Structure 1
Amino acid sequence: MFRVRGKAGRRKCGSLSIWDPVELGIDERAGPVRIGLAERNLLAAGEPGAGKSVGLGLIVAHAALSLDCRLILIDGKRVELGVWRRCADAFIGPSITDAIELLKHLQAVMDGRYAELLDTGRRKITRESGQPVVLVVFDELAYFSATIGESKQQKEFVSLVRDLVARGRAAGIIVVAATQRPSADIIPTSLRDLFGYRWAFRCTTDASSDVILGHGWAGEGYTAADIDPTSRGVGWLIAEGGIPRRMKAAYLSDDQAARLAEHAARLRTPAAINDGGQGAA
């Protein structure tokens, strides 16, 4: 498994910090849209081709360039996040067995961090703690929760994801999940409401939009069903306790992503991320 002990890597020229705001795009007034991801989970969903993979790529790019972040990628198709594979501390393809094993390891890391926080009288991991944030990115969530494997495995996978989303933030473990199946069976309310950010790209119905943003928003005029099918990357972003904000994601071409990934891979050497030569927590 990957290493998480030791101090987070120091910033180098051309690198970022996971504690810095993540640039996602612009709103309807051309104002910048930024989110602080280090202490909040994010759910992105929408119909195929709506632009959620582009949005996900922006987040992964920021994390890959952040030496104080351990990057975990779980991609059922392998090609959506595959360009970032060399930057990742762990990369899981279409194997629910491997995904469950990794999630169990992350759960153990989380429990270990909470034990350390308790022993040191702290409540959460902060920038000043010097410990790396672990970012876990799923694309496509429904592939593991409803398509591949046996029913028992799918339920175990969902249970582990729910635990990470529910308890991981204070321990510095953040989940970003994407799906093209925004339905209540894939994203139950009890799971959706644990995500501090919810990003709805074009959906076919108001009901699907509400599954992502929250019940009742479509009735108030905030619906991803009214987004033009040709407007790829346009969506509604809502933060915990706020109201939806219509925005357009910045576009990162395949060539740009490949060049950024190559640069990030050079930055993310064992010496650069300063793992201290210690084993996994």
Structure 2
Amino acid sequence: MFDFAGDDLREANAIFKRLVNLRSDRFSAIESLLGVINLWEVGPSEDWPLIVLIIDEAHTYFAEQKGSDKETKTLSALAADNTRLVADLVKKGRSVGIIVILITQKPTGDALPTVIRDACPVGLSFAQKTIEGAVAARGDDIRNWPDANPTDLQNPAYVGVAAMKHNERPGFLRVRTPHVSAADAARIAEETAHLTRNPADLLRGQLPGGGAARTLLT
């Protein structure tokens, strides 16, 4: 983990901007450094690692703010800019090794802007209490796939099970994700902390003269 922001829109906006800059610089450099225009032709490496941007409670960063005072207008502008930046990363980041994972309780258009949601190639939904929630999460077509409907995942036996939709295959399927305890997560973080690298520093180190077009993620 080389960067982190809480639920402050300004902090998140700063990270999104740095990642968009990195996405742009990787795009400009990928052919000369890796000899390909799509990272997945050669795969991530130590010098060009996969970057995963996880946005938990994603609606927090995109929600339109209500009010006419100066602070509310500022937050509204930040939310709109966050939408623009994250949409850029979702649409253009995969080919240079930047993956975005958005997590929200109910991915309706007002919580997760459709310009972002509709560009995501893979979608998962854990248990939903209502068919309305299932449709919001997986689209109206989920009604035609009762075996994969997330409303049937309420039983404790289905903890960690989600209904998955992939644009390259028809219908839905169930997938199970393993449970990771807080203690295990802390242990893994401590054991791997020494591996942390700033990907912008790695890119700068590979460019002629050791410089990049911008000063990134610093």
**Structures share fold, TM-score greater than 0.5:** yes
Corresponding position of 2:56: 139
CA RMSD of aligned residues (A): 2.8
Structure 1 residues 223, 269: CA separation in 2 closer, same or farther (over 3 Å shift)? closer
- Counterpart in the other structure of 2:182: 254
- The 3-state SS of whatever aligns with 1:203 is coil
Question: How many Å separate the matches in 2 of 1:94 and 1:128?
Answer: 30
Relative to 1, partners in 2 of residues 1:193 and 1:215: Cα closer, same or farther, differing over 3 Å?
farther
* 1:234 pairs with 2:166: no
Task: Tell me the CA shift for residue 170 of structure 1.
Answer: 0.6
Structure with the largest fraction of helix: 2
Larger Rg: 2
> TM-score, with normalisation over the residues of structure 1?
0.59
Instruction: Decide whether aligned partners of structure 1 residues 159 and 269 sit closer, same or farther in structure 2, where only a CA change above 3 A counts.
Output: closer
Three-state SS of the structure 1 residue aligned to 2:137 is: helix
| CA-CA distance at 1:118 after TM superposition | 5.4
Higher relative contact order (CA 8 A, sep 6+): 1
Q: CA 1:111 to 1:269, structure 2 compared with 1: closer, same or farther past 3 Å?
A: closer
Q: Which moved more, 1:178-187 or 1:208-217?
A: 208-217
Q: Amino acid of the residue matched to residue 90 of structure 2?
A: V
Shift of 1:184: 2.5
Say if 1:182 and 1:209, in contact at 8 Å, map to a contact too: no
Measure, in 2, the Cα distance between the counterparts of 1:113 and 1:232: 38
* Aligned with residue 164 of structure 1, among 74, 85, 89: 89
Identity %: 26
Residue of structure 1 equivalent to 2:192:
264
Structure-1 separation of matches of 2:149 and 2:130: 8
Aligned mates of 2:90, 2:164 — CA distance in 1: 18
Q: Distance in 1 between matches of 2:132 and 2:51?
A: 33
**Does structure 1 conserve the Cα–Cα contact (< 8 Å) formed by 2:106 and 2:136?**
no
1:124 aligned to which of 14, 38, 46: 38
Gaps of 5+ in 1: 1-87
CA distance in 2, matches of 1:181, 1:206: 12
Residues 190-218 of structure 1: CA deviation (Å, up to 9, x unaligned): 42232222110112322322333333122
SS at match of 1:91: coil
TM-score scaled by length of structure 2:
0.75
Q: How far did 1:189 drift?
A: 4.2
Give the secondary structure class of the aligned counterpart of 1:137. Answer: strand
